[in-house]
Amino acid sequence: MATAKGKTIKTAQFEVPVRDGRELREELRRKLRAYERKYRISSAEMAARVQSDQVQETLEIFKWMSHYRVLESIESVTPTAGTPTTTTGFSTTST
């Protein structure tokens, strides 16, 4: 198995591609933007709605929230990475 840069880590059972943090953050942000466009709501707002049981968590929403939480976690330990809510800027207020 090879990545774009050809780096992998081999374990007893798997080869795991190695990616830098910036690449991972960008991939997560792309995925979040796609969900936000589809549902027309920010990831932060969806997380709040799931947390307060206003939205039933489907498998797709579970995946979305998993990506969001991973990005949140990465950015909490890497302050220069940006903020987790700056993905699309969809407003949740009605006009």
The per-residue pLDDT for 16 is: 66
The per-residue pLDDT for 56 is: 92
pTM of the shown model: 0.65
Residue type at position 8:
T
Tokens 């949740």, located at residue: 92
Torsion of CA 65, 75, 38, 42, to 10 degrees: 90
Residues comprising the chain, all counted: 95
The per-residue pLDDT for 37 is: 98
Tokens representing residue 28 in the block: 């997560």
The per-residue pLDDT for 79 is: 59
Tokens representing residue 60 in the block: 């797709």
Divide the 95 residues of the chain into consecutive groups of 10 and give the mean pLDDT of each group: 57 71 91 98 97 95 96 81 48 45
What residue ranges do the domains of the chain occupy?
20-81
Three-state DSSP at 90 gives coil
Rg (CA), the chain: 16
